[in-house]
Structure 1
Amino acid sequence: MSKPASPSVSLIVSTYNWPEALNLCLLSIIQQKVLPDEVIIADDGSAIETKILIEKYQESFPVPLIHVWQEDDGFQLSRIRNKAITKASKDYIVQIDGDLILEKHFIKDHKVFSKKDSFVSGSRVIMNEELSKKLIRSNKINISLASKGLVNVFNGVRIPMLSRRMENYRQEDIYYLRGCNMAFWRNDLLKVNGYNEAFTGWGREDNEIGLRLIHSGIRKRIIKFSAIVFHIYHPEKTRAGLNINDQLMQNTAEEKLTYCEKGLNQYL
């Protein structure tokens, strides 16, 4: 039996007012062993410096680099991700944050791991403040597991042959998701109407969309030992609205919801 064809990939990169980190992220995308087919920057209201950076990269970027921007209206990650998803033209959407440095096999690993009727969440390696500042100052993305300043080194071990064996790891734990490293089939996102824009402020939007996908029959899979990312240090964002978001997520769980009213349909 022939192996299914590798999907075309839209890489969505969320960012907000941190062009120094986004610069390292874009450098790491360029150096991928397998490039995505397009990159879409989901910009939640950044100032002009981010626009200038993206325009500079657009002059020579190896694949289409699309900038989707919205006015700054507080933390509106669900909204800008939906707008970016509607601009995506490829079958498979890999989603990251702009404060990540991608290991050079990141896109290749996600393509190999992709499987119909499922969505994927990966993990991240945490870099401390000192290492993060050093990389930003030097404009370098050279990181190894021996680098001083990595907190959870185990998440950086890459052994692709083990990834399939670990795909059911913590499968029943909906809180075990990393929105900064996820992948979906575009048609599955359309089916559940994308992210729920009732979620504002930090937290739970990724868990909630995961619940709706699961309720729709889309299986959650975890990618370990592959698709590795390194997280650039920053202070934690405020969690002021988390109680409200927790209530929204609980409603999705109790009602077994598969669709949100305020989602992708606004932009299609």
Structure 2
Amino acid sequence: MMPPAPRRASVVITTYNWPQALDLALQALARQRTLPHEVVVADDGSREDTRAMLERVAADYPVPLRHSWIEDRGFRVSLARNRAIAATSGDYVLLLDGDMVPHPMFVADHLAAAQYGSFVQGMRVLTDAEGRDRLLSRDVEALGFFDRGVTRRRHTLRIPPLAALSLRATRGQSSGAIKTCNQGWWREDLVTLNGFDERYEGWGREDKDLAVRAFHAGLVRRSLRFGGLATHLYHQERHEDGASPNDALLADAKASGRVRSPVGLDRHIAEFAQHPLPDLRAAA
């Protein structure tokens, strides 16, 4: 018997003090052909203008919209994501960054790609400053293969038959880029892994740590191309190969063979079981 497909996709979307980008991403999620079960904003300490934007958007949002906020004490995206994951109620979790604008078939494509024993790594359509500004100004709703402002054009192509063929399984440290800006996970697997390791503070490596522990648990990474598309709004980034204060933690995770994060998701699940995160639509 084939295992059941996921029924309810909870989107966990990170943000930090860029409400214009988050607004664009949320509006794209509201236009999904297959709506998510809910959207939970994992806020790493944004100012009040982000909260005000969320309350405005919630007034006519088509699915529950929740806001998980932590105090701004530096880059603590592991903690922010764990709290948001703990607040979800879907059986599948889509991790998305707040500077990523999903294609209308983003949720449907990820649900179609979901398979037990694996997590799905989606890709980014990269923009330059011109493409970012065209999207933020609402000059266009999306950027296609031939549009100006796109720097990674192959990832603009949604071709479902090729997407199905692209879902090859890989495991281990040679499995390619790991980016939590566009990933799909069974929620029960995130619980088994105890989510992100909250000892990772400051930029970098918390996403690779999660994948390393997933490989230790026997999960495989499946790459989704030509589907599950999302467009990244340009901003200056640290180089992927640059040093991170968390490099030693990642090296230890690789060497230890551990599966569970020592400081992780279990710290928050009981909290939200007793006090569910409110749907902002109720107060709108």
Q: TM-score range by the shorter chain?
A: over 0.9
Note the 1:1-268 alignment, pairs <5 A: 4-138=4-138, 140-168=140-168, 171-172=171-172, 173-174=174-175, 176-237=177-238, 242-268=243-269
TM-score, scaled relative to structure 2: 0.89
Distance 2:171 2:153 in 1: 22
CA deviation string 1:168-223 (max 9, x = no partner):
27654255112100111111111111000111111111111011111111121111
Counterpart residue type for residue 111 of structure 2 = K
- SS in structure 2 opposite 1:22? helix
- CA shift in 2, pair 1:50/1:243, >3 Å: closer
Runs (5+) with no aligned partner, structure 2: 270-284
Distance 2:18 2:208 in 1: 25
Q: Contact conserved, 2:14 with 2:97, CA < 8 A, in 1? A: yes
Counterpart residue type for residue 250 of structure 2 = M
- CA shift in 2, pair 1:183/1:2, >3 Å: closer
Q: 1:165 offset after TM fit, Å?
A: 2.3
Counterpart residue type for residue 149 of structure 1 = G
- SS in structure 2 opposite 1:244? coil
CA deviation string 1:84-104 (max 9, x = no partner):
010000100000001011111
- SS in structure 1 opposite 2:228? coil
Counterpart residue type for residue 16 of structure 2 = Y
CA deviation string 1:18-70 (max 9, x = no partner):
01111111111111111101000000000011000100111110000001101
Q: 1:164 offset after TM fit, Å?
A: 3.0
Q: Contact conserved, 1:202 with 1:242, CA < 8 A, in 2? A: no
Distance 1:58 1:248 in 2: 39
CA deviation string 1:126-157 (max 9, x = no partner):
11001211221236423222210100101121
Q: 1:246 offset after TM fit, Å?
A: 1.7
Distance 1:138 1:47 in 2: 23
> What is the RMSD computed on CA atoms of the aligned residues?
2.0
TM-score, scaled relative to structure 1: 0.94
- SS in structure 1 opposite 2:39? strand
Q: Mean Cα displacement is larger for which, 151-160 or 163-172?
A: 163-172
Distance 2:250 2:5 in 1: 35
Counterpart residue type for residue 260 of structure 1 = S
Q: Contact conserved, 1:171 with 1:222, CA < 8 A, in 2? A: no
Distance 1:2 1:76 in 2: 39
Q: Contact conserved, 1:174 with 1:207, CA < 8 A, in 2? A: no
Q: Contact conserved, 1:21 with 1:136, CA < 8 A, in 2? A: yes
Distance 1:48 1:242 in 2: 32
- CA shift in 2, pair 1:59/1:208, >3 Å: same
Q: 1:228 offset after TM fit, Å?
A: 0.5
- Paired residues in the alignment total 268
Distance 2:93 2:191 in 1: 12
Counterpart residue type for residue 135 of structure 1 = L
Distance 1:232 1:215 in 2: 33
Distance 2:153 2:169 in 1: 18
